[in-house]
């Protein structure tokens, strides 16, 4: 087995990434990179000994790189892409190109990357997490379905919290930055009843004023506010028992979210019937109000194109009509509790029990017609409309969700050649969705009728066996057998009488096999195969109309080889991983025509296969005792090998729509343009970047007997991402440059920082949508034409935070 040279640590710099050590035998000093312990395989082991691709960030890294949210973690993690799509909600982290457009938007559709807090499954959004309360963040890449469980189809992100301490200590931090950003954090920890019972408590207040303008009101939007309270109790009555209880309270209050429509006037590709030329914003003008001149003042536009191809330009002006809905923004109140116990037996076996509970109320609302005025009816024809209490596409909702999970596992002694683990897992989730409606003004939440109720129940048994054939060669086999049941109830609303009550059960078997070979104490190589499972689900009433009530699990076969090495006595570290993913039953967002109507609805179908291959490199070096550098690079080649998308057919046919059956026009004799096809084979998977890179320089040295000077600069690059499977609209490349500099003493630090100092404005993400400002289709539809009354397609895009400078003062006691 690997040996460790005796060493005495003389100094550990505050950035926590290198140490200067003195050999106990030779008294020679050497500089080595810090060894980080991770729990990526449900047990503690060195990052360099773990035979899977893991990126880990310590508390010092989080502080020194001014990390505020998972956005920043993604910048330094090769293969992880994260963008704020709709403010601090509906998060869609993408690891190794495994993306999904409807993840977090439609019930049951998930990103494929799961969150964990202290190893306990977490089913919510994570952008408001208090990173100062963390000991470490671990990003485990590749399918983790065998050990971590549901929705770890592409990877898992584990947030490890700081616990109690044997001695009383604390920390206070104050941060002030441009755009009215303020953050105050405090933490205390210490013994409650000696060393056996310790605890910690932390509190954080965060406020951000926003930096963009809302055209209808002229006010600044994008403001955010959070309050976080965290309490932890650690109980260690003896060396064999370790119990941690954690409670977290989070309250978010965010204003109008910053996104805007890139209007269909700009469409420049795929000419056809579903274009501005076939819509007239005022064609109902011959009728009396409220049906006439609904888009008064908007000129006709004769653009013949159906889509926009190219980079969507950035903007900082939104069109959110705050009077069109009873609530605009995001409000969330959440209680999260975890309980974990480790029990070591005399013979070396370990029992681990862990429990998690989350209770959340969340209000969301936005003006999704992207107009300066409101349209308070749904026109079914030029002569009939249904009035609505909320304006069209001004959606406000109250989601109440609660879930709990339980896991128990038994593990054999780790000092034996043959090792094993056996565990069980249970997860139960319920969510109720209510309208927030002007018609219910007596309720402080304007709470209207219930829209839907959905549940998820997951039961699994999992295990692992591992054997050291020699001191250097180890084989590992893992397996999880799971059953997941989802239910969905949808209820009638003011503009829809459709109801749905369905249930679907999905069984899965997810294996993983790992071979690991250690060349010496500093270099190892591994190879693994894993089966990835992304949960299936229900499409509800819209799917029922086209005989697509359910969609199946997405599955992938994943192959990976990696090399982990420390060079030059531990001064240089290089971790390299190459992977190949072959995906079946890819869950695509599909627009289909409802039978007997011209209405188009979006749902999830398993109509694609894909192949993703790539390489990830993470390197860092301690050049001197004062200087450290590092960088990452990821190449992700993610393409569909097979797939049929209904709107791709609309674009390539000149505006004709498919029936519910793939590759069949709505009417058999419908005229089409040459080249009409629904195939997306060869297209890049949307929301994935082909190239990602980052680099940093850290420098610190004493300038006075009482304090050091430090300087850190960082850079990240993410290449353009396509918005949809059509590979037309895209985000553009994003290059972010930042720095942090200041002085620090033994117990204090004063720092000045800059984020995105070059003011990169490439949009983070965009979504295909309607341009309802163009009104209704006024041209007699051709046979089988997609003449949906809601208008041509146009994307709406989120805004990227611009340049920001600020300072931070912290004190440890």
Mapped to the 3 state alphabet, what secondary structure does 683-752 carry?
Answer: CECCCCCCEEEEEEEEEEEEEECCEEEEEEEEEEEECCCECCCCCCEECCCEEEEEEEEEEECCCEEEEE
At 231, phi and psi to the nearest 5? Answer: -130, 135
**Tokens at residue 68, please?**
């505020």
Give yes or no for a contact between 455 and 419, defined as CB atoms under 8 angstroms apart. Answer: no
CA distance 422 to 350: 11
Q: Which CATH fold topology does 18-327+336-812 show?
A: Maltoporin; Chain A (2.40.170)
Give yes or no for a contact between 730 and 649, defined as CB atoms under 8 angstroms apart. Answer: no
Q: What is the mean pLDDT of each run of 10 residues along the chain (813 residues)?
A: 32 40 50 82 85 91 86 91 80 86 70 89 86 90 86 90 91 96 96 93 96 88 95 94 95 92 93 84 49 52 91 88 80 95 94 96 85 57 52 76 95 94 96 79 59 93 96 96 93 69 93 95 95 89 80 93 94 95 88 51 82 96 94 96 88 78 47 76 93 96 93 96 94 96 95 96 90 67 67 89 95 94
CA distance 103 to 111: 5
Degrees to nearest 5, angle at CA 228 with 223 and 233:
170
Give yes or no for a contact between 523 and 573, defined as CB atoms under 8 angstroms apart. Answer: no
CA distance 523 to 518: 6
| pTM attached to this predicted model | 0.89
Buried b (16+ CB within 10 A) or exposed e, 315-350: beebbbbbebbbbbbbbbebebbbbbbbebeeeeeb
**Region label for 15, one of left (φ > 0), alpha (ψ between -120 and 50) or beta (otherwise):** alpha
**Tokens at residue 767, please?**
């979504």
CA distance 78 to 692: 7
β-pairing, 212-214 vs 219-221, is antiparallel
| 459 C-beta neighbours (distance < 10 Å), count | 14
Within 8 A by CB and 6+ apart from 454, the residues are 107, 108, 430, 431, 433, 486, 487, 488, 489
Q: Tokens 């076969």 — which residue?
A: 557
Instruction: Quote the pLDDT of residue 592.
Output: 59
Give yes or no for a contact between 72 and 107, defined as CB atoms under 8 angstroms apart. Answer: no
Residue 252, CB-side half-sphere exposure with 13 Å CA sphere: 25
Instruction: Quote the pLDDT of residue 444.
Output: 54
The one-character DSSP state at 49 is G
Instruction: Quote the pLDDT of residue 627.
Output: 95
Give yes or no for a contact between 131 and 515, defined as CB atoms under 8 angstroms apart. Answer: no
The one-character DSSP state at 756 is S
């Amino acid at each position: 087995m690997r040996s460790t040279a005796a060493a005495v640590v003389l100094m550990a710099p505050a950035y926590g990434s290198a140490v200067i050590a003195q050999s106990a035998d030779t008294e020679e000093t050497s500089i080595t990179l810090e060894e980080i312990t991770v729990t990526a395989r449900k047990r503690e082991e060195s990052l360099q000994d773990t035979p899977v691709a893991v990126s880990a960030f310590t508390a010092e890294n989080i502080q020194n790189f001014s990390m505020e949210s998972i956005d920043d973690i993604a910048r330094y993690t090769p293969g992880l892409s994260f963008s704020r799509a709709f403010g601090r909600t509906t998060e869609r982290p993408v690891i190794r190109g495994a993306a999904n457009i409807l993840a977090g938007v439609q019930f049951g559709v998930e990103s494929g990357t799961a969150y964990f807090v202290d190893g306990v499954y977490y089913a919510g959004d994570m952008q408001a997490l208090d990173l100062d309360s963390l000991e470490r963040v671990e990003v485990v890449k590749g399918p983790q379905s065998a050990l971590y469980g549901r929705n770890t189809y592409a990877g898992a992100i584990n947030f490890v919290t700081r616990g109690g301490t044997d001695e009383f200590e604390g920390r206070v931090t104050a941060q002030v930055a441009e755009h009215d950003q303020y953050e105050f954090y405090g933490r205390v920890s210490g013994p409650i009843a000696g060393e056996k019972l310790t605890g910690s408590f932390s509190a954080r207040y965060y406020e951000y004023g926003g930096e963009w303008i809302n055209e209808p009101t002229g006010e600044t939007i994008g403001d955010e506010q959070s309050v976080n309270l965290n309490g932890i109790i650690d109980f260690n009555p003896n060396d064999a028992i370790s119990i941690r209880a954690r409670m977290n309270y989070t309250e978010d209050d965010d204003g109008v979210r910053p996104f805007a429509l890139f209007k269909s006037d700009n469409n420049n590709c795929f000419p056809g019937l579903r274009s501005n030329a076939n819509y007239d914003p005022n064609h109902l003008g011959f009728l009396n109000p409220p049906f006439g001149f609904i888009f008064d003042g908007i000129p006709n536009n004769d653009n013949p194109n159906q889509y926009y191809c190219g980079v969507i330009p950035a903007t900082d002006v939104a069109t959110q009509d705050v009077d069109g809905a009873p609530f605009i923004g995001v409000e969330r109140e959440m209680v999260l509790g975890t309980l974990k116990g480790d029990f070591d037996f005399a013979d070396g076996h370990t029992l681990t029990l862990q429990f998690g509970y989350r209770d959340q109320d969340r209000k969301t609302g936005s003006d999704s017609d992207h107009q300066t005025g409101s349209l308070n009816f749904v026109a079914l024809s030029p002569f009939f409309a249904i009035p609505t209490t909320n304006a069209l596409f001004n959606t406000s909702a109250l989601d109440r969700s609660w879930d709990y999970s339980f896991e128990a596992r038994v593990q054999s002694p780790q000092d034996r050649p043959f090792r094993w683990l056996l565990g069980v897992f249970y997860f139960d989730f319920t969510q109720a969705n209510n309208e927030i409606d002007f018609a219910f003004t007596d309720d402080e939440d304007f709470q209207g009728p219930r829209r839907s109720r959905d549940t998820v129940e997951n039961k699994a048994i999992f295990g692992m066996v591992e054997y050291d054939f020699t001191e250097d060669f180890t084989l590992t086999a893992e397996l999880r057998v799971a059953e997941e049941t989802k239910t969905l109830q949808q209820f009638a609303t003011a503009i829809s009488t459709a109801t749905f009550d369905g249930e679907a059960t999905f069984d899965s078997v997810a294996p993983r096999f790992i071979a690991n070979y250690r060349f010496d104490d500093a270099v190892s190589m591994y190879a693994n195969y894993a089966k990835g499972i992304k949960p299936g689900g229900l499409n509800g009433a819209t799917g029922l109309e086209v005989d697509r009530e359910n969609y199946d699990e997405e599955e992938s076969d994943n192959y990976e080889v990696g090399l982990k090495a420390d060079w030059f006595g531990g001064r240089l570290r290089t971790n390299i991983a190459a992977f190949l993913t072959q995906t079946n039953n890819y869950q695509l967002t599909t627009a289909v025509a409802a039978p007997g109507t011209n209405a188009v609805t979006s749902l999830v179908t398993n109509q694609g296969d894909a192949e993703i291959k790539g390489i990830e490199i993470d390197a860092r070096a301690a050049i001197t005792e004062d200087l450290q550098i590092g960088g990452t690079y990821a190449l992700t080649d993610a393409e569909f090998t097979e797939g049929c998308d209904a709107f791709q057919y609309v674009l390539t046919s000149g505006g004709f729509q498919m029936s519910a059956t793939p590759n069949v026009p709505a009417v058999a004799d419908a005229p089409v343009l040459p080249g009409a096809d629904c195939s997306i084979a060869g297209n890049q998977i949307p929301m994935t970047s082909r190239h990602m890179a980052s680099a940093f320089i850290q420098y610190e040295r004493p300038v006075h007997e009482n304090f050091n000077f430090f300087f850190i600069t960082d850079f990240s690059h993410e290449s353009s991402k396509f918005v949809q499977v059509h590979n037309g609209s895209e985000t553009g490349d994003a290059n972010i440059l930042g720095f942090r500099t200041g002085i620090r003493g033994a117990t204090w630090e004063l720092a000045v920082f800059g984020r995105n100092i070059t003011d990169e404005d490439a949009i983070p993400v965009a979504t295909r949508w309607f341009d309802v400002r163009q009104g209704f289709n006024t041209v007699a539809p051709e046979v089988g034409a997609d003449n949906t009354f809601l208008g041509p397609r146009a994307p709406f895009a989120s805004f990227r935070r611009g340049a920001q400078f600020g300072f931070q003062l912290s004190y440890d006691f």
